[in-house]
């Protein structure tokens, strides 16, 4: 039988090779992975547990919270606050940051997460996930504030997601490529199942919510119309379309077989730069996608270079196969 490599073995080995995973970061990633295992157990309970349906509350962004949004958020906070690796956390489901209480040891990292991505898919048994991003607390001041989180995505020490689908898969980068771990449900352990993940530079598959077509900006319409024109159009090839409506699952497909994902700005809410969140969704996914040889922009600029100005900041997202992302970005520049 082939030797199975666990998450811990992988992290220790990577530290030996590249030196990017000091002890505190390894501990933090292991704790996040353990929390994802607990969230997976709740997800798998479905109608047998008190996990489906609405919680009857709204988050700071005015979105209705599902029971699992709240459960996943609590699991992540509880698992991480006493571990000693963190100074503070921020979540899509919390109004402001959660500073590690001073009864626990303080660490040097900041953790950001979308505890449950794809909330609209929970009740219909379609893949959902958890997305996370890790920053370093800069400076040696003691009290952490929201300002400490205002770092561009290039500063991420690690990022990843866990997809709760037919398989439970944890996908991780610490800046040395992308690795995937599959949860062995019988053993309760994460097993390395893919290393040095690469996204093909070209693709014939796009992901966008087509129902918003009439609200798009001209460069997005141009790009999608050209894809839809297929072999008779300027691209000279037929495209396929997928839209799962869980960013985690759509990005997982792109990391697995290529493709391009777009959630662009649109005219429904013209004052918002986009629907997706920069700190909890776009930055970690952009880091993973770039580490796998893909690209990620907001249509004009590289996502990882964007300087955030607030915790719950929104952004347009175009990510995936490099040549397609470059094409969409070029169309935006040409339209200027």
Q: Is 205 in the site for Mg ion (CB under 5 A)?
A: no
Q: Is 250 in the site for Mg ion (CB under 5 A)?
A: no
Site for ligand FBP in 280-319 (CB under 6 A): none
Q: Both ends of the chain: CA-CA distance in Å?
A: 58
The item of Mg ion, ligand FBP, none sharing an interface with residue 295, based on CB under 5 to 8 Å by kind, is none
The region that residue 181 occupies, defined by phi over 0 for left and psi between -120 and 50 for alpha, beta otherwise, is beta
What is the smallest separation between the CB atom of 282 and ligand FBP, expressed in angstroms? 11
User: What mask, x for binding Mg ion by CB under 5 A, covers residues 76 to 95?
Assistant: ----------------x---
Site for ligand FBP in 221-260 (CB under 6 A): 245-247
User: What mask, x for binding Mg ion by CB under 5 A, covers residues 103 to 142?
Assistant: -----------x-xx-------------------------
What is the smallest separation between the CB atom of 276 and Mg ion, expressed in angstroms? 7
- 116 marked among binding-site residues: yes
Stretch that binds ligand FBP, among 5-13, 79-87, 95-103, 115-123 (CB under 6 A): 115-123
- 272 marked among binding-site residues: no
User: Binding site membership for Mg(2+): which residues?
Assistant: 92, 114, 116-117, 281
Site residues (vs ligand FBP, CB under 6 A): 63, 92, 114, 117-120, 209, 245-247, 263, 275
Site residues (vs Mg ion, CB under 5 A): 92, 114, 116-117
User: Binding site membership: which residues?
Assistant: 92, 114, 116-120, 209, 275, 281
């Amino acid at each position: 039988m082939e030797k199975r490599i666990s998450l811990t073995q992988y992290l220790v080995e990577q530290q030996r090779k590249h030196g990017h995973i000091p002890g505190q970061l390894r501990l933090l990633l292991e704790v996040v992975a353990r929390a994802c295992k607990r969230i997976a157990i709740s997800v798998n309970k479905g109608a047998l547990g008190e996990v489906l349906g609405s919680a009857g509350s709204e988050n700071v962004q005015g979105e209705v919270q599902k029971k699992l949004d709240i459960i996943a958020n609590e699991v992540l906070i509880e698992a991480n606050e006493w571990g000693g690796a963190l100074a503070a956390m921020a979540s899509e489901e919390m109004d402001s940051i959660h500073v590690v209480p001073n009864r626990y040891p303080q660490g040097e990292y900041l953790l950001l997460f979308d505890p449950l991505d794809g909330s609209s898919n929970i009740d219909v048994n379609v893949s959902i996930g958890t997305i996370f991003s890790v920053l370093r607390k800069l400076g040696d001041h003691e009290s952490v504030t929201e300002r400490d989180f205002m770092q561009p995505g290039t500063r991420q020490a690690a990022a990843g997601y866990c997809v709760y689908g037919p398989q439970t898969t944890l996908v991780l980068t610490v800046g040395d490529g992308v690795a995937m771990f599959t949860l062995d449900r019988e053993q309760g352990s994460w097993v390395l199942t893919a290393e040095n993940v690469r996204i093909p530079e070209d693709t014939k598959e796009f992901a966008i919510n087509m129902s918003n077509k009439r609200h798009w900006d001209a460069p997005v319409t141009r790009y999608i119309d050209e894809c839809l024109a297929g072999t008779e159009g300027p691209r000279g090839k037929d495209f396929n379309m997928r839209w799962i409506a869980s960013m985690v699952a759509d990005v997982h497909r792109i990391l697995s077989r290529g493709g391009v994902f777009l959630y662009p700005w649109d005219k429904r809410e013209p004052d918002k730069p986009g629907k997706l969140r920069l700190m909890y969704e776009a930055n970690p996914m952009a880091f993973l996608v770039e580490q796998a040889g893909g690209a990620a922009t907001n249509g004009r600029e590289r996502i990882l270079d964007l300087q955030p100005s607030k915790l719950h900041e929104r952004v347009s997202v175009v990510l995936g196969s490099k040549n397609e992302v470059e094409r969409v970005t070029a169309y935006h520049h040409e339209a200027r």
